[in-house]
C-alpha cells in the first residue's frame, strides 16, 4: 500500500514539476522516494567496492541524490585517452530514504592487475573521481587483511580508518558488525559512506550485520544494510555469506537473525563449513566472523544467555570442521582466547606460552569490538580460557603465508604499538621443520613439537566427547 502511494505521488510530482526541472526521468521506480525523480543532482557519492564469488569480478556500489542511470567505466589506466575502456550498466535500488543506490559489477578482470574506475550516469558532468583497486594475485606468497568491529565516526573511529589505510599491502577489510551507528538517522549512513570513501573505494570492506544494523524500532528494519551492501554468497542472503580469498575461506554469520536448529541460517552454516573443510587442499584456512561473540569476559550477566546459546548451537559445528579463527565484535575491547571448546583449553601452544599453535584442533576466538566506539569494562576476574585482554582501540592485522603455511595474527593499537601477537601453523608447515631436520640430524625441540601435535590429536578425540555432551 505504501509503495503504491509513493508511485502515485511520483507520477503527480513529475507531471507538476517537470517543466521546472532539468532532471532526466529514467522510469517510475515505486521503491524510490518521489523526491529522487525530480532532483537533478546526479553526483556520485559513498562509493565502495566489494567482492563477488568470482575472482574476475568486482562489485561497486554508490549513491546519488537524484534517480539516474548506473554506469561504470573501468580499465587499466582509463585516464589515458588511448587506453581500452570497458563500460557496464548497473541497477538502481531504493528504500525509504531520499537517496538512490546504484550497483554494477566490473567483469573480465585479470589477476594481479591494478584497475582504474569511475562511476556515473554517462554524462560528463556526473562522473565521479577515478579510483583504483588491484585484483587478487594467485601467485603471491602471502596475503594480508585487517579486521575489527564496532566502528562509527568518532575521532577514535577515524584513527582506526587511518590505521587501516596504513597497511599498504592489506587486500581486504573484515568488519564484524555495528558499522555506522545510524540508529535510524539515515543521513548518518550517508555521512559514514562519504567519510571513509577513500578506503572503501580502494579495497573491499566485507561486512556482517550487528545489532545496530537492525533499525526495526525506527521503522527501517535492515533496509539500510541490505541496500547499501551486497555480499557474495550462494546462501541468497546478505546477512550470512562466504567467499574464498588468498587461501582463506571466510564465512560471515548473522547473530541478529535466527540461528536455531532447523533455521535456514544454521543449515547453511553447517553445509558451508563442511564443504570448506573438505576443500582444505585448495583453501587451507577457515575464518568465521560475526557480531556477538561465543566467548567474552564482558561482565554483563544480561548478555550471558545469548553467549551461551550461540556457543551451544555453533561451537560443535566450528569444532567439527576445525575452524582456525573466529572474529567477533559487540563488546568494545580486545580479548583473545586460548584454543578452546566448551570452555576447555585444548592446547597452550608449542612452547606452552600462547604464542604459537598448531592449527586445526579448536578455534581461537577474538573479540575485536575496538573500531572506535567508547570502550567497555570487562569482568574483574579473567576466565581461564582468556589469554589476553585490553581496553584500547585498533585493528587485527593478519598475514597468511602460503609458503610457510602460517597465519600470523597481531592486534595493532591506533598508536601503532602491538597489543597482542600469535602464530597459527599448519601441521605440515616448514615452520615445524628445523635446518637440522632437513639434513637428517636430530633437531632441538622436535620431540617437543611431536609431543605437542600428538597430545593435541589425542585431546581433540577426547574433546569430541565433550562436544557431544552439549
pLDDT tens per residue, range 154-164: 999 999 999 99
pLDDT for position 123: 87
**End-of-domain residue from the set 79, 113, 134:** 134
Claim to verify: residue 194 and residue 253 sit in the same structural domain: yes
Give yes or no: residues 340 and 388 share one domain.
Answer: yes
Specify whether 146 is located in the same domain as 128.
no
Q: What separation, in Å, do the N-terminal and C-terminal C-alpha atoms of the chain show?
A: 47
Give the whole-angstrom CA distance, residue 398 versus residue 172: 10
At 10 the pLDDT is 46
pLDDT tens readout for residues 239-273:
999 999 999 999 999 999 999 999 999 999 999 99
- In this structure, what CATH number is given to the domain that contains residue 302? 3.60.21.10
Percent of the chain with pLDDT over 90: 73
Q: Is 295's pLDDT higher than 70?
A: yes
**Measuring CA to CA, which residue among 93, 119, 94, 124 is closest to residue 105?**
119
Statement to judge: residues 408 and 366 lie in one domain: yes
- Segment among 170-174, 233-237, 326-330 with least mean pLDDT: 233-237
> Is the residue at 121 inside a domain?
yes
For residue 446, name the pLDDT band (cuts at 50, 70, 90).
Answer: very low
Q: Is the pLDDT score of 448 beyond 70?
A: no
Q: Where does a domain end: 110, 134, 158?
A: 134
**Judgement on whether residues 402 and 461 belong to the same structural domain of the protein:** yes
My answer on whether 321 and 358 are in the same domain is yes
470 domain-assigned: no
Whether 60 and 158 share a structural domain: no
CA–CA separation, 77 and 98 (whole Å): 34
Bridge partners of residue 142, in order along the sequence? 401
Domain of residue 297 covers 142-465
- Please give the Cα distance from 149 to 333 (Å, whole number): 10
**Same structural domain for residues 317 and 241?**
yes
**For the chain, how many residues are written?**
470
Whose CA is closest to 106, among 126, 64, 80, 78? 78
Residues 127, 241, single domain; the answer is no
Mark whether 164 and 122 lie in a shared domain: no
pLDDT at 125: 84
Task: Look at residue 428 and tell me if it is in a domain.
Answer: yes
Task: Output the CA torsion sign for 131, 94, 369, 326.
Answer: negative
Same-domain check for residues 349 and 438 = yes
Q: Is residue 308 part of a domain?
A: yes
Domain stops at, among 103, 134, 165: 134
Q: Specify the pLDDT at position 84.
A: 85
CATH number at residue 24: 2.60.40.380
| Lookup: cell for 449 | 613439537
Residue 301 belongs to some domain of the structure = yes
Sheet holding 45-50, edge to edge: 45-50, 58-64, 100-106, 91-93
Same domain, 358 and 432: yes
| Residues paired with residue 221 on neighbouring β-strands, in sequence order | 215
Give the integer Cα–Cα distance in Å for 106 and 109: 7
pLDDT at 1: 40
Structural domains in the chain (count): 2
Q: What is the pLDDT of residue 41?
A: 86
Amino acid at each position: 500500500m505504501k509503495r503504491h502511494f509513493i508511485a502515485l505521488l511520483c507520477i503527480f510530482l513529475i507531471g507538476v514539476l517537470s517543466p521546472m526541472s532539468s532532471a532526466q526521468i529514467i522510469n517510475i521506480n515505486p521503491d524510490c522516494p518521489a523526491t529522487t525523480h525530480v532532483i537533478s543532482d546526479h553526483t556520485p557519492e559513498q562509493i565502495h567496492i566489494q567482492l563477488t564469488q568470482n575472482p574476475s569480478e568486482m562489485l561497486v556500489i554508490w549513491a546519488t541524490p537524484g534517480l539516474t542511470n548506473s554506469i561504470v567505466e573501468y580499465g587499466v589506466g582509463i585516464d589515458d585517452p588511448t587506453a581500452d575502456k570497458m563500460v557496464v550498466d548497473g541497477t538502481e535500488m531504493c528504500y525509504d530514504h531520499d537517496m538512490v543506490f546504484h550497483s554494477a559489477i566490473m567483469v573480465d578482470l585479470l589477476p594481479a592487475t591494478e584497475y582504474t574506475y569511475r562511476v556515473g550516469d554517462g554524462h560528463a558532468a556526473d562522473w565521479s573521481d577515478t579510483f583504483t583497486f588491484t585484483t587478487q594475485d594467485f601467485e603471491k606468497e602471502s596475503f594480508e587483511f585487517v579486521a575489527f568491529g564496532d566502528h562509527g565516526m568518532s575521532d577514535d573511529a577515524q584513527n582506526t580508518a587511518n590505521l587501516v589505510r596504513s597497511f599498504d599491502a592489506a587486500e581486504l577489510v573484515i568488519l564484524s558488525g555495528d558499522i555506522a551507528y545510524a540508529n535510524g538517522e539515515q543521513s548518518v549512513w550517508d555521512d559514514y559512506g562519504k567519510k571513509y570513501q577513500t578506503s572503501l573505494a580502494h579495497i573491499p570492506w566485507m561486512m556482517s550485520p550487528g545489532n545496530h544494523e537492525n533499525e526495526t524500532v525506527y521503522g527501517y528494519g535492515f533496509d539500510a544494510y541490505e541496500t547499501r551492501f551486497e555480499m557474495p554468497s550462494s546462501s541468497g542472503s546478505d546477512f550470512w555469506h562466504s567467499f574464498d580469498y588468498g587461501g582463506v575461506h571466510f564465512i560471515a554469520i548473522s547473530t541478529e537473525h535466527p540461528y536455531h536448529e532447523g533455521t535456514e541460517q544454521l543449515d547453511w552454516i553447517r553445509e558451508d563449513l563442511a564443504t570448506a573443510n573438505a576443500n582444505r587442499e585448495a583453501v587451507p584456512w577457515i575464518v568465521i566472523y560475526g557480531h556477538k561473540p561465543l566467548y567474552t569476559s564482558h561482565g554483563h550477566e544480561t548478555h550471558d544467555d545469548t553467549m551461551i546459546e550461540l556457543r551451544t548451537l555453533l561451537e560443535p559445528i566450528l569444532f567439527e570442521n576445525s575452524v582456525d579463527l573466529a572474529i567477533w565484535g559487540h563488546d568494545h575491547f580486545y580479548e583473545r582466547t586460548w584454543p578452546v571448546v566448551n570452555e576447555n583449553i585444548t592446547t597452550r601452544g608449542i612452547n606452552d606460552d600462547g604464542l604459537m599453535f598448531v592449527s586445526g584442533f579448536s578455534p581461537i576466538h577474538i573479540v575485536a569490538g575496538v573500531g572506535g566506539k567508547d570502550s567497555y569494562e570487562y569482568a574483574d576476574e579473567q576466565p581461564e580460557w582468556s589469554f589476553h585482554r585490553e581496553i584500547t582501540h585498533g585493528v587485527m592485522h593478519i598475514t597468511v603465508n602460503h609458503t610457510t603455511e602460517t597465519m600470523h595474527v597481531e592486534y595493532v593499537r591506533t598508536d601503532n604499538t602491538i597489543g597482542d601477537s600469535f602464530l597459527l601453523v599448519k601441521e605440515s608447515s616448514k615452520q615445524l621443520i628445523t635446518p637440522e631436520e632437513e639434513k637428517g640430524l636430530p633437531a632441538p625441540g622436535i620431540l617437543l613439537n611431536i609431543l605437542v601435535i600428538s597430545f593435541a590429536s589425542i585431546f581433540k578425540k577426547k574433546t569430541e566427547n565433550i562436544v557431544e555432551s552439549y
